[in-house]
Amino acid sequence: MSDFPQIQLLAPKRGMPPKHFADLSKDERIDALKELGLPKFRADQIARHYYGKFEADPLTMTDLPEAQRQTVKDALFPTLLTPVRTVETDEGDTTKTLWRLHDGTLLESVLMRYPGRATLCISSQAGCGMACPFCATGQGGLDRNLSVAEIVDQVRAAAAMMAAEGSRLSNIVFMGMGEPLANYKRVVNAVRQITQPSPDGFGISQRNVTVSTVGLAPQIRMLADEGLSCTLAVSLHTPDDELRDELVPVNNRFEVSEVLDAARYYADQTGRRVSIEYALIRDMNDHDWRADLLGKKLHSALGSRVHVNVIPLNPTPGSKWDASPKARQDEFVRRVAAQGVPCTVRDTKGQEIAAACGQLAADEDAS
C-alpha cells in the first residue's frame, strides 16, 4: 500500500483522449452538431477551418454563431496536444516539438525544411511494442495507441507552422514513435484525412505520405488493398533471418521472405516503388556479404521497384552499437547498387537535438 494514495488518484489515467472532430466520420459530425443544435452545413464550415486553415480552436472561427463557438469547442475540440518544448537545429531548418497528451503521455513530431519541400515525421503510437534493440522508443515499450485525431492534429499543427512562414507542408513520414501498422485502422483513417482535399483533409499528395513498418506482413497486404498510393517503407535492417530475429524481433513471426513477398504485393497493387530502410550498424549488419545478399534478395523480390535508404545508426544513450565508418558505408552502398538496386544514404537532420531516428521523447521520459 502506498503511503500517499491520493497521488495515485491525481495521476491522469492513461487512455484514449475525449472524442475530437477529426475522430468522426462525416455523418457522425453532422449528428454531433445536431445534438448541439447546429445545422448540417456547419460540419463542412468547421472542416474548412480545421483542414483548410489549420485552426483547431472554434473560438477563432468567426463565421460560427458567437454563442455556439464555446459549445462546439467543449463538445468537439478538446485540446489534444499541448506543446511542452520546441527545439530548433540545422540553422532553423529542423523543428522538434515535444507534446503532452491529455493523459500526460509525451509525444514528439519533427518538421524538416528542405529546399522545395517540408517533411513532417509523425508518431502513430505513444511508445512502441516492437522492441528493436537499437531504437530508443523500442526500449520503453508501448504506452498506448494514438487516436486518429492525435495523429491528424500533429499534421495540422505543422501545417499551421508552415503556413505562418508563408510556405506549405508537403510530405509526411510515419517514422516517429510507434509501429503504424500495429495501429492499423486509425493510421489508415489518418492517411485519408491527410491526403483528401479540403474540406475532407489537408490535401497532401498520397505519394508524399510514407508509412514505415517493421514488416507486419498481413497488414502490408491490407494496406495494399486500401486503394491508396502512399509510399511503403520497410525497416529490413538485414537480409538474413538469423540477425533480423535479433534486430527486429517481430521477424520471429514474419520472416524476411514473407515480408518481401508482402512488399512485392504492395508494389503490384499500388504501382509504387517500395523503400527499404537499413540502419547501418558497425560490425553488425554492414558486411560485404550482407550488402550482396540484400541486393540479390531485393532484386529478385522487387526488380526495379525498390530503393534502399541507408540510415547511419544514430546511437541511443548507453548503446553498445555505433554507426559504420564512412568507408564501410560507401562500400556497402556500392555493393547494393551493383546488384541493380538503387541505394542512397539518408541525411541525418535533427541529430544534435535528439530528433533523429528512434530518439523521440526518450530524453524527457528518462528525466
| Residues labelled catalytic | 108, 357
Binding status of residue 179 toward ligand SAH by CB under 6 A: yes
Q: Which of these segments, 24-32, 73-81, 286-294, 307-315, binds ligand SAH (CB under 6 A)? A: 307-315
Q: How far is the CB of 86 from ligand SAH (least distance, A)?
A: 21
**For residues 154 and 123, is the Cβ–Cβ distance under 8 A?**
yes
Pairing assessment for the beta strands 117-121 and 171-174 based on DSSP bridges: parallel
**Cell numbers linked to 130:** 516492437
Residue 167 grid coordinates: 510556405
Each as own residue / partner, the long-range contacts of residues 196-200 (CB below 8 Å, 24 or more positions apart, any chain) are: 198/47, 198/48, 198/51, 198/52, 199/44, 199/47, 199/48, 199/51, 199/52, 200/26, 200/47, 200/51
316 interacts with ligand SAH by CB under 6 A: yes
CA dist., res. 92 & res. 321, Å (int):
29
Contact 350, 110 (CB under 8 A): yes
- Residue 280 CB, nearest approach to ligand SAH (Å): 8
Name 16's Cβ contacts closer than 8 Å, sequence gap at least 6: 144, 145, 147
Q: Which of 149, 151, 196, 157 is nearest to 173 (CA)?
A: 151
Smallest separation, CB 238 to ligand SAH (Å): 11
Site string for ligand SAH, 271-290 (x = CB under 6 A): ------x-x-----------
Instruction: Fill in the per-residue mask, 205 to 234: x = in contact with ligand SAH (CB under 6 A), - = not in contact.
Output: -------xxx--------------------
Helices H / strands E in the chain, number of each? 13, 12
Which segments are annotated as binding site? 128, 132, 135, 178-179, 212, 235-237, 314
Residue whose beta carbon is closest to ligand SAH: 358
Question: What residues are designated binding site for [4Fe-4S] cluster?
Answer: 128, 132, 135
| Contact characters 124-163, ligand SAH, x per CB under 6 A | ------x-x-xx----------------------------
Of 135 and 224, the one with the shorter C-beta distance to ligand SAH is 135
Residues that bind ligand SAH (CB under 6 A): 130, 132, 134-135, 175, 179, 212-214, 235, 277, 279, 311, 313-314, 316, 357-358
